[in-house]
Amino acid sequence: MSDLPLGLVGVGKIARDQHLPAIAVTSACHCVATADPYASLPDVPSYDSLTAMLDDNPGLKAVSICTPTHLRYEQARQALLRGRHVLLEKPPGATLSEVEALVALAEQQGVTLFAALHSRFAPGVSKAQQWLAQRRIHHVDIQWKEDVRVWHPGQAWIWQAGGMGVFDPGINAFSIATAILPQPFFLQQARLDVPRNCQTPIAADLTFRDENGASIGAHFDFRQQGPQTWDIHVETDGGLLSLTQGGCQLSIQGDVIVNEPEHEYAGLYAHFVELVSAQQSDVDMAPLRLVADAFLYGRREMVEAFVE
């Protein structure tokens, strides 16, 4: 792959914590400019807007969009229309319709669009997927429980309409489950627990069924204290597979197969470089579609107010 000069759109927490370190270890890729009206980086040309950044950097081939979700569609559209490859943070948009439109536009423009489902790049995911491809699934138990006060301090947007609440981490569970399970699965029942002072759920209990009739339970909770849980357990005709710690640890029938530190975003950028090189896009709608299904079909229960 030749050189991929890249602009970062939105210089917030996720850009600093994850994107910049990952770009730094991706040899084909380097950050040549940033666009953010409120933030910048030392030693990198910074612009107030995406438009200004693109105008001033005709050699910039790609943009990575890390802005709040409701801004992403217009920004991605502009970048695609101006012939740039686009990496979209998750979720890839505020609504399904706008992401579908971006997919069509990227194809029309002949450039790469990558909806970055970072959890799929966790160390144990690809081996889990390979092993499960040969198995018959009996039951799946997804436990995705974390303390919102630790992971999203002061992030009021998560409780507002469109913020998705506990589905903000939950979409990571869906990203992994849709990657490793050999059959698609469909929502049968959902209960969304919504604090009385919030728009979005703080917890959710979901039941799915796959095409062979296997049941898949998912339990999301933002009120977890003590140890945090990001685990998927799959009972199969070949025994139990457990993908735990957000995909960092993989055990099959009790044997630890993978146990590595998290380095998802490095995998993400390596894949982006490959996609651009191969002139392909990678936008899997399945995880965001499952979230939308839960909002469309789920029963809401009002629970205790959330006070951070």
| Contacts to a copy of itself by CB under 8 A | 73, 77, 94-98, 100-101, 160-162, 164, 184-187, 190, 199, 211, 286, 289-293, 295-300
Displacement of CA 85 from its chain's centroid (Å): 18
- In sequence order, the 6+-apart residues with CB closer than 8 A to the CB of 227 are none
304 half-sphere exposure, CB direction, 13 A CA radius: 5
DSSP state at residue 157: G
In angstroms, give the least distance from the CB of 124 to a copy of itself. Answer: 25
Give the nearer residue to a copy of itself in terms of CB position, either 134 or 160. Answer: 160
Q: Which one, 202 or 273, has the nearer CB to a copy of itself?
A: 202
Closest to 88 (Cα-Cα) out of 127, 124, 62, 49: 62
Distance CA 20, CA 15 (A): 6
Of the candidates 193, 305, 293, 180, the residue with the CA atom closest to the CA atom of residue 247: 180
Q: Determine whether 90 is an active site residue.
A: yes
List the catalytic residue out of 13, 61, 90, 145.
90
Q: What is the DSSP letter of 42?
A: T
* Alpha-carbon gap, residue 56 to 269, rounded angstroms: 24
Minimum CB separation of residue 208 from a copy of itself in Å reads 9
Catalytic residues: 90
